[in-house]
Structure formats: C-alpha cells, structure tokens
Amino acid sequence: MSNFLDKLSIRQMSTDDVNSIVDIDTKVLGETRKDYWVTKVIKEADSRPPDASLIAEIDGKVAGFILGEVSGWEFKVPNNIGWIDTIGIDPDYQNRGIAKVLAIALITNLQQRGVDTIYTLVNWNDWDLLQFFHAMGFSRGDMINLVLKV
C-alpha cells in the first residue's frame, strides 16, 4: 500500500492561493476572513521571504499552508529569529503528518537563512496547536503576554 504522504508535495505559496487558504480557514474556524487573508497573503507578501510561506498539496489540491517570517527581513537586516505565524490543515486531511512535513520544510528554509531560534504564539486554550507544537519539540519561551483591558 502506498504511503499517503507520497502524494504530498510542498511548494511556495503564491497570491493565487488566497482562496484555498480562506476555504481552509473557514473550515477550521467556522467563519470567513477573506479581507484578513488578502492582506496577509497578497498585500504583505513582500514582507516575508518567498520560501517562508508554503503550501501542501495532495493530488493537486491545497491541503494545508504555513506562513513564516524572518525578523528584520523586510528591512534587509535579517537576524537569527524566525517566526511561525500561522499553520492550517484542511480538517479532511488532518492527523496524517501534513503539518509536520510543512513545519519541517519551513524550519529548514529558515535555518538556511541564518535563523537559529523560532518563535510562535499560541492561544493558551488552543489545545490542538499546543499539542502539535509540543510534538514538534517546541517548549515554553521566556516571554509572557501581558494584557490590560481598557
């Protein structure tokens, strides 16, 4: 039996992927955020290295995406800090290793750009993402989030 992941291919995101990303986000969150993704994927594309935004495809269909960044890259002074901004896998394709392949591909690309430390922010209540990042070897960092309601 062939391995499901044999059908998986990883490529750089293009602005044409915005609708597929909106569809996955809608399936995951239950609400549609088209304007948000147009800003992230199209308007802000130049603020991220091209190989820091990746798409996972199964049989030509977009099954997931990851958006990363390198601190300082938009100012042409990249440093050693990279970020995973967002990861999303189509619920029909979750639990098959796609997010892991995407994250490893992004981390490899960031390392080749001189990154040695990767940050990400996860909502404390988002158990799926916390478990995923834990499985990827992430641990609690030394920054905390402060909030003031005004």
Ligand X SMILES: CC(C)(COP(=O)(O)OP(=O)(O)OC[C@H]1O[C@@H](n2cnc3c(N)ncnc32)[C@H](O)[C@@H]1OP(=O)(O)O)[C@@H](O)C(=O)NCCC(=O)NCCS
Return the residues of window 125-144 that contact ligand X according to CB under 6 A. 128-129, 131-132, 135
Sheet holding 61-70, edge to edge: 8-12, 53-58, 61-70, 81-89, 117-120
Region binding ligand X by CB under 6 A among candidate stretches 4-12, 96-104, 105-113, 137-145: 96-104
Q: Which is nearer to ligand X, 79 or 96 (CB)?
A: 96
Handedness of CA 32, 43, 100, 70 (dihedral sign): negative
85 binds ligand X (CB under 6 A): no
CB-based contacts of 17: which residues, under 8 Å, 6+ apart? 41, 55, 62, 65
In angstroms, what is the minimal distance from the CB of 79 to ligand X? 26
- Give the strand pairing for 117-120 and 61-70: unpaired
86 binds ligand X (CB under 6 A): yes
Q: How far, in Å, CA of 135 to CA of 32, rounded?
A: 29
The secondary structure of residue 114, as a DSSP letter, is T
29 binds ligand X (CB under 6 A): yes
In angstroms, what is the minimal distance from the CB of 97 to ligand X? 4
* Cα 120-123-124 angle, rounded to 5 deg: 115
121 binds ligand X (CB under 6 A): no
Region binding ligand X by CB under 6 A among candidate stretches 5-13, 46-54, 80-88, 140-148: 80-88
Q: Which residues bind ligand X (CB under 6 A)?
A: 24-25, 28-29, 86-89, 94-100, 128-129, 131-132, 135
